[in-house]
Structure 1
Amino acid sequence: MLWLALHLRWLPLEALGAPPPPAEGAERPARAVVERQRLRVVNAVAHAAGVAPGMSTATALSLCPSLQLLARDPAREAAFVQLVAMALSCFTPHIVLQRDAVLLEVAGSLRLFGGLRGLAVRLRRTLQQVGARACIGMAPTAGAALLLARVGGAGGRPGRARTLEAARGLLDGLPSGSVIESLELPARLAELLQGIGCPWLGQVRALPRTGLQRRGGGALLDALDRAYGDAPDPQAWYEPPLQFEIGCELLHRADDAGMVAFAAQRLVQPLAGWLARQWLAAARCTLWLLHETTGRQAQAPTAVRLAMGQPTREAGQLLLLLRERLQRTEWPGPVYGLRLQLDESVALAGHEGRLVLTSGEAGAPATEPDAQAFNALIDRLSARLGPERVLRPVLHEDHRPERAAGSVPAQGGAPVQPAGRRPAGEGARPAWLLDEPLRLDERHHRPVHGGALVLRTKAERIEAGWFDGALACRDYFVAEGKDHRLRWVYRERQGDEWHWYLHGLFG
């Protein structure tokens, strides 16, 4: 297993929403999240002015009078973690939620996204669209990846290791006080370890377990056993909702389409991730613009409806369509909240639908963009795998099933012609034919394959091959076994005797 831990270090600030882009020539505002009259998180502008987490509000305002103080909202933080997890669902179905982090098990996703580097680039791009930044730790265990992301290694950077041995070495070098704070264990335990001269995690691991447990370190030892891979660490996977509908509040009023589209980015990316996780594509969706109540009468929300001609799950395309619709929509007042709702989805649609050789009706030619996309794919696959490994099927004029179809290199061949209709009276054909027919035993003149077979169709006779010296005289049947699987069998005349053979299997 390989775990990526995305620690949302600036979660209290990012959960409240990003401010709209400043006007040309204006500077970004300094912002900070306040909890119990102390600064919890500050943005880069406030940090440049000398403001740091842990300061009192009075000290911070004396250093930066224009500092915007925002109250911490734990409910919005929990909702934002789920929103990030939904957006990342397109990379792996194995996701675990933490209070300030999202864990991804990505061992099965590396080849799909071009290795670890390619996956990391896509992850950061998706996080940027949602409005989040993350410190990414990596390790073969979930606990180690989370500690390496939260605490960090040398220089405060997140630690990353692909093997358990390397991860243990990085964990040994973590400060024990920071680990205890990350695990939300009592602070007196950190004071105890500092007092006995164990500032590093490797020294803590070398202590006698019994003595440390008696002094309240049992929870710490259990967490370290799971992180070091010495104890099992089962995780509860994140399950996305069955229906997609999410919303967000805006800290600043939005008056024009550009500001609304900027705020809607953090909703569109989770929709794309949810669709990819469910293997669906969006056909229709609605963005509801929520307005402020005026007087005693609430204003009805404004509906911005999107109807895609070709269902899609691409976030960029959805956001482009949304911007176009917002430019042509009028609303009665400022927008203070958004809610995105998926109205209709289509299974297995989107980009894959363009890789077809014919359109909806049988025999109709493919459109030019479809043909170009298909040919470009064939060229890329042939260049990467070799022309001899990318084949396409072709039909031959022969009644014998094993000679009725073949394969030729797909690159540079003649265009594939659509197959005609199946002749009337022709029996069922399985998609899987054996390379060599398998001779079957007989019992009471009936074939046996894992038990006696029951013939479910009448005989379909095929006689061909007299013209090339490979005469075949066969009676084909669809047979059912005791396991209820359907087989394609035939009885062939060889001289004066008939023998049973298995030629194919039905899916």
Structure 2
Amino acid sequence: MRVMERQGNAPPDDIPVVLAREGQHGPVIHAANRTARLEGITPGSRVVDMRAICPELQVAYADEAGDRAALDRLVLWARRWCPWTVRDGDDGLILDTTGADHLWGGEAAMLVEMETQLSLLGLTARLAVAPTWGAAWALARFGPVRAICGADEIYFKLGALPVAGLRLDAPTLLLLRRLGLKTIGAVMDVPRLSLTRRFVKAGLQANPLMRLDQLMGKLAEPVSSVDAKPVIRAQARLAEPIFDPTPHLPELCADLCDQLKQAGQGCRRLHLMVYRTDGDVSHVDVATSAPTRDPAHLQGLFRDKLERINPGFGFDLITLAAGAVEEMQDRQTRLEGGADDDLHLTQLIDRLSAKFGPRAVTRPILRQSHLPERAEAQIAALASVPETGVVLTKERPLRLLDHPEEVRVLYAVPEGPPAQFVWRRQTHRVARYAGPERIAPEWWKDRPGTRLRDYFKVENQTGLRLWLYREGLHEDGRGGDPRWFVHGFFA
């Protein structure tokens, strides 16, 4: 499938128009309309050269990033015809319609339906149905506007197409043309041993033998659909377009949770998608801190979020899909059976996160680091906790300061903590201490010259227990005299 025009007000058909992009030696042609192609304008040529051929040529710069984003949205939109769709380069889509064409009245009727729906979006397309990815690619670009090819017709319908239909790189195409192999059929007629000798070390895009095998179905090339729909989902097909999915949400959540319960699973993500009549797709995502299949709880997470959906002229299909599915078993919390209906902590976290945003509620996790300030981090409560393998066996302060506070030492004990120091304008006298605990810098993260730390647990004359550390040693070659800091408080 090849998208040839953008959505919007197209220029008159009799005016040659091209889209340009930056090349090594100035702007080059990125795409051209039919009139420009009839004038001899070819993609990849320099704009200055094409202006000499066609002085009335109109040039606009292509938005390649925007085109790719639009094509990615079109990939999701095209799943109305089959579940497996993927972007094919920068100008096409591949749909695996195996077992789905009969739902549309056959392959020919399905192509008509596709062309009709794309035309409503302001897009023109070249469509082809073939047994393999490679055959469909070649027919869509070099065959008729709508083409259907059976498994036993590949040689006859693709033999006359240009050799560029094999998806080879430019140097290989130039070599084949110099050898007189200008069509796919001509390459097919060459003895296989000759092609093997010449291209035995070539990669996929430079090996016509491998491309022929893909085209004929001898070499597998499955459609690996990215971001495929989850297996567990609920749908609501509507007879007429509506503008608010709220009335259908309870039934969708109940249906989805029934499927999760039958599978013995729970979900941590929910994806609500509405398919608008103008072809656009709008979605709202929610998350939970733990696997769940409570329909009332899941429905409540969408509260105040459905307003973000832009209904446009209405939508006629609603899909609720479960993501991040995990194993989940029912737990009996009462002696007579069943579970308590009270609000659990996880549900409270979910509701707060849905109300104030996914980053509003956080929780601490351990990190694999010996430095205290790096051994703990705050992550969103809805995020999955990574396995770090960190086990803390030494006592750590109940409260750790975000930034260690420097102290002024009045008298220091050799190889020990300060006997007296000033911190926060108060003089502290050390009554007892324990340590040191030496923590070396992390050389794979810290800058060269970072000094080691010696930590001490000290108690002052009033019983306040602090966690101090000395940064550096005398004559360690990494700075001047050692500095002292308070890093935390013990209970």
What TM bracket, shorter-length normalisation? 0.3 to 0.5
Q: TM-score, normalised by structure 1?
A: 0.41
Judging by fraction of residues, say which structure has more helix. Answer: 1
Q: TM-score, normalised by structure 2?
A: 0.42
